[in-house]
């Protein structure tokens, strides 16, 4: 029962001392920036592609090329408009497929 009163008194005295010393208030946290969609998609696809063998990576990369090259392809962040044969049954956002392409190219490049 005394602990809450002691904490209250301690907080009041700290706040009062800070105001009397005219110390600046603690900084307010920054507003969150725009979502880092490309980063998130890249991390997701890296985890997926690591589990695939070489032939699966090559097959998905081959099936992905026509989807990325089709007229009207948009690298949108969230609208799931595109399907890739052999990848899965789901539709994917354009930015997700661009990240997948980047990850596949990185995995297929010979190490330097």
- Give φ, ψ of 80 to 5 degrees: -90, 95
Is the full-model pTM beyond 0.85?
no
* pLDDT tens series, the chain, 112 aa: 677 878 888 888 888 777 777 656 677 777 777 778 899 999 999 999 999 999 999 999 999 999 999 999 999 999 999 999 989 889 999 999 999 999 999 998 877 6
Q: What angle do CA 9, 7, 4 make, to 5 degrees?
A: 110
Query: Is the separation of the CB atoms in 99 and 87 below 8 Å?
Result: no
CA distance 48 to 29: 34
């Amino acid at each position: 029962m005394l602990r809450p009163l002691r904490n209250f008194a301690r907080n009041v005295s700290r706040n009062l001392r800070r105001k009397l010393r005219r110390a600046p208030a603690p900084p307010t946290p920054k507003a969150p920036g725009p979502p880092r969609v490309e980063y998130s998609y890249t991390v997701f696809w890296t985890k997926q592609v690591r589990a695939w063998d070489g032939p699966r990576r090559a097959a998905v990369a081959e099936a992905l090329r026509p989807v990325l090259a089709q007229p009207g392809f948009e690298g949108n962040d969230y609208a799931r408009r595109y399907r890739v044969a052999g990848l899965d049954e789901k539709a994917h956002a354009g930015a997700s497929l661009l990240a997948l392409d980047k990850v596949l190219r990185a995995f297929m490049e010979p190490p330097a």
